[in-house]
């Protein structure tokens, strides 16, 4: 039985104190609701019906969903029951319908599958959890045999009912044929004059449909965000979940509370991530990669066995296997490092290629440069690639040795096994196996030092 997912994403989120629709607020580098949509997309045979309202065009533009997704605009926000009513026509006749919320993004696919299984046995399945301070949540009312009898909203609960700790997450599952029968029966006879989807519990009981509760062991799955501080809590829980999954996959993480993934991170077994690292966009780490503290990686790949020392910055770049980078190294602009290359402290490489076994260990800038294999770049070397109007290329062949404090003025090529003397300014091509020295003549002027 294929599942249909009604995702409620129409709210304004006024308590967030900003103009951005709540479901688009960033969570781990993605819109909040995107996490939920990605989880749902993993479930076989699923179809999404997304209810949008506030800034509907912007929400639809920013969220990514499968091609078979149905988008429905809720013109008036009259409660969760009303939102579900607007979406019910998009459900399939033989499906199990799961109602989810765009601002409750961390629910796991395993939990959703268990809820679907429960609902497929002709039951209304509701997801519940224990809340130490249940204020604001709908209370789960159970009967003599511990069966779920009703869900009472905070506004309508008695003093005795408000003491109940088991509360409603809002997430439920039921066969579409039952949902289509029960939704029209929901009325707005309550304090808020809204159509509560929770009323479906008592309606189901009255129609002879069993109501079953799936009680969560970890209530963090159903954390939502209605205020900026709640969004902060949600972010930290999301990051903790990501780090936990890394550890469970065989990746070492120094502290699961001190890692930030703002996009997607894949890491091979045996890799290690130290504290205070930030990963943005799509980052892929090979096996046995070691990331030191305080590193930043964005939209990059790092090959197996590579070491990134502290405070290394890698953006839009590709690092080969068994490299050593850092500390305080910066790669950007599509830079490519071949296997076993080394870049040391205060080295910046931009739009360049560094060949196998090549090294630049100290205080170097390589821009628009191509380095062959086994090149050695001395400390203080820079490629002067910009003439004020255009960027120019520097080509350095295999086994070239660049003396310390050299300035390589592009466009220029250095042939295989050529050398430059320390402190040289190289403005012309250097043939293979030549030594190039480009220094001003030294004059020692007697007695002038005192003046």
Q: Can you give the pLDDT at residue 10?
A: 86
Q: What is the CATH number of the domain that holds 420?
A: 2.160.10.10
Digit-coded pLDDT (tens) for 354-379:
999 999 999 999 999 999 999 999 99
- Whether 13 has a pLDDT exceeding 80, the answer reads no
Half-sphere exposure of 307 (CA within 13 A, CB side): 9
Give the pair of three-digit tokens for residue 399: 């086994």
Q: What is the DSSP string of 303-342?
A: -TT-EE-TT-EEES-EE-TT-EE-SSEEEETT-EE-TT-E
Q: Does residue 118 share a domain with residue 157?
A: yes
Instruction: Please give the tally of structural domains in the chain.
Output: 2
* Catalytic residue list contains 362: yes
For residue 255, the enclosing domain spans 228-436
Q: Is residue 448 part of a domain?
A: no
User: What b/e sequence results for 428-440 when a residue is b if at least 16 CB atoms lie within 10 Å of its CB, and e otherwise?
Assistant: eebeeeeebebee
Digit-coded pLDDT (tens) for 257-297:
999 999 999 999 999 999 999 999 999 999 999 999 999 99
Out of 205, 222, 239, pick the residue that ends a domain: 222
Q: Does residue 214 share a domain with residue 264?
A: no
Q: Does residue 176 share a domain with residue 256?
A: no
Q: Can you give the pLDDT at residue 432?
A: 97
Q: Is residue 441 part of a domain?
A: no
Q: Does residue 212 share a domain with residue 269?
A: no
Q: Does residue 240 share a domain with residue 172?
A: no
Indicate the pLDDT class of residue 450, thresholds 50, 70 and 90: low
Q: Can you give the pLDDT at residue 451?
A: 56
Percent of the chain scoring above 70 in pLDDT: 99
Q: Does residue 233 share a domain with residue 217?
A: no
The dihedral built from the CA positions of residue 127, 132, 135 and 141, taken in this order, carries a sign that is positive
CA distance 439 to 284: 44
Mean pLDDT, residues 31-47 = 94
Q: Is residue 136 part of a domain?
A: yes
Q: What is the CATH number of the domain that holds 164?
A: 3.90.550.10
Indicate the average pLDDT of the chain: 93
Q: Does residue 275 share a domain with residue 182?
A: no
Digit-coded pLDDT (tens) for 394-439:
999 999 999 999 999 999 999 999 999 999 999 999 999 999 999 9
Q: Does residue 63 share a domain with residue 30?
A: yes
Q: Does residue 377 share a domain with residue 333?
A: yes
Q: Does residue 274 share a domain with residue 158?
A: no
Q: Is residue 445 part of a domain?
A: no
- Whether 146 has a pLDDT exceeding 80, the answer reads no
**Which one from 35, 82, 362, 392 is the annotated catalytic residue?**
362
Q: Is residue 152 part of a domain?
A: yes
Q: Can you give the pLDDT at residue 150?
A: 85
CA distance 126 to 422: 74
Q: Using DSSP, state whether 264 is helix, strand or coil.
A: strand
Out of 187, 222, 257, pick the residue that ends a domain: 222
Q: Does residue 121 share a domain with residue 35?
A: yes
Residue whose structure tokens are 């380095």: 371
Three-state secondary structure readout of 341-408 = CEEEEEEEEECCEECCCCEEEEEEEEECEEECCCCEECCCCEEECECCCCECCEEECCCCEECCCCEE
Digit-coded pLDDT (tens) for 51-79:
998 888 999 999 999 999 999 998 888 88
Q: Can you give the pLDDT at residue 117?
A: 95
CA distance 302 to 65: 29
Mean pLDDT, residues 197-223 = 90
Q: Does residue 357 share a domain with residue 267?
A: yes
Q: Is residue 328 part of a domain?
A: yes
Out of 171, 200, 222, pick the residue that ends a domain: 222
Digit-coded pLDDT (tens) for 294-335:
999 999 999 999 999 999 999 999 999 999 999 999 999 999
Return the number of other C-beta atoms located less than 10 Å from residue 158's C-beta.
9
Q: Is residue 446 part of a domain?
A: no
Q: Can you give the pLDDT at residue 185?
A: 94
Q: Is residue 442 part of a domain?
A: no
């Amino acid at each position: 039985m294929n599942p249909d997912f009604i995702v409620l994403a129409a709210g304004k989120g006024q308590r967030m104190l900003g103009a951005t629709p709540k479901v688009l607020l960033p969570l781990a580098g993605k819109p909040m609701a995107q996490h939920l949509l990605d989880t749902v997309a993993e479930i076989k045979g699923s179809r999404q019906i997304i209810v949008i309202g506030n800034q509907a065009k912007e929400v639809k533009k920013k969220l990514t969903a499968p091609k078979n997704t149905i988008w429905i605009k809720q013109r008036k926000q009259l409660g969760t029951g009303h939102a579900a009513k607007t979406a019910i026509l998009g459900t399939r006749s033989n499906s199990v319908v799961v109602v989810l919320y765009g601002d409750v993004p961390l629910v796991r696919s395993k939990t959703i599958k268990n809820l679907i299984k429960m609902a497929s046995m002709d039951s209304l399945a509701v997801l519940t959890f224990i809340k130490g301070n249940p204020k604001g949540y709908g209370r789960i009312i159970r009967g003599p045999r511990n069966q779920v009898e009703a869900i009472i909203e905070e506004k309508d609960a008695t003093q005795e009912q408000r003491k109940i700790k088991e509360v409603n997450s809002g997430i439920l599952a039921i066969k579409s044929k039952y949902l289509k029968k029960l939704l029209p029966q929901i009325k707005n006879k309550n304090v808020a004059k809204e159509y509560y989807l929770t009323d479906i519990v008592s309606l189901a009981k009255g129609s002879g449909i069993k109501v079953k509760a799936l009680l969560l062991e970890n209530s963090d799955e159903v954390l939502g965000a209605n205020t900026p501080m709640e969004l902060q809590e949600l972010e930290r829980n999301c990051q903790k979940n990501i780090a936990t999954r890394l550890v469970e996959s065989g990746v070492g993480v120094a502290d699961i509370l001190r890692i930030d993934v703002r996009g997607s991170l894949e890491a091979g077994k045996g890799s290690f991530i130290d504290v205070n690292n930030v990963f943005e966009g799509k980052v892929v780490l090979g096996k046995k990669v070691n990331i030191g503290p305080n590193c930043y990686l964005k939209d990059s790949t790092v090959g197996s066995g590579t070491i990134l020392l502290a405070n290394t910055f890698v953006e839009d770049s590709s690092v080969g296997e068994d490299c050593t980078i850092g500390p305080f190294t910066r790669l950007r602009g599509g830079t490519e490092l071949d296997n076993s290359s080394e870049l040391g402290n205060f080295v910046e490489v931009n739009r360049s290629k560094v060949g196998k076994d090549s090294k630049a260990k100290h205080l170097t800038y390589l821009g628009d440069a191509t380095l062959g294999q086994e090149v050695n770049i001395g400390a203080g070397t820079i490629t002067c690639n910009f003439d004020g109007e255009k960027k120019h290329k520097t080509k350095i062949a295999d086994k070239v040795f660049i003396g310390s404090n050299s300035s390589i003025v592009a466009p220029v090529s250095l042939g295989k096994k050529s050398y430059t003397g320390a402190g040289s300014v190289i403005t012309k091509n250097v043939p293979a196996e030549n030594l190039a020295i480009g220094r001003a003549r030294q004059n020692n002027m007697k007695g002038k030092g005192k003046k």
